[in-house]
């Protein structure tokens, strides 16, 4: 994700330790800092909305749904 956003793919939320060097080099510009979230939040999966998703995307999305549900059950995520 870091390399993609450096190449102009859009906006990303990353931990400071991941983005620090790119920010120091001027490759990235911090924005929306007033809207920082708690560690680990939010969890989002973005994918093209198509009638027929590839099997890989479908499996990954289902995996993430199950992971988030399990984290919520374990009171890790509010």
- Hey, is 27 helix, strand or coil? coil
- The pTM of this model reads 0.47
Residue 78 has pLDDT above 70, yes or no: no
pLDDT in tens, 6-20: 988 888 888 888 899
If you ran DSSP here, which 8-state letter would residue 33 be given?
A: G
Residue 49 or 21, more confident? 21
pLDDT in tens, 23-58: 999 999 998 777 665 655 566 677 777 778 888 888
Indicate the Cα dihedral angle 21, 27, 32, 37, nearest 10°.
-40
């Amino acid at each position: 994700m870091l390399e993609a956003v450096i190449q102009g793919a859009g906006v990303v939320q990353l931990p400071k330790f991941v983005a620090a060097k790119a920010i120091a080099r001027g490759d990235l510009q911090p924005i929306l800092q007033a809207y920082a979230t708690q560690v680990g939040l939010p969890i989002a999966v973005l994918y093209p909305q198509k009638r027929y998703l590839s099997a890989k995307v479908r499996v990954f999305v289902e995996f993430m749904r199950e992971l988030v549900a399990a984290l919520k059950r374990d009171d890790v995520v509010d």
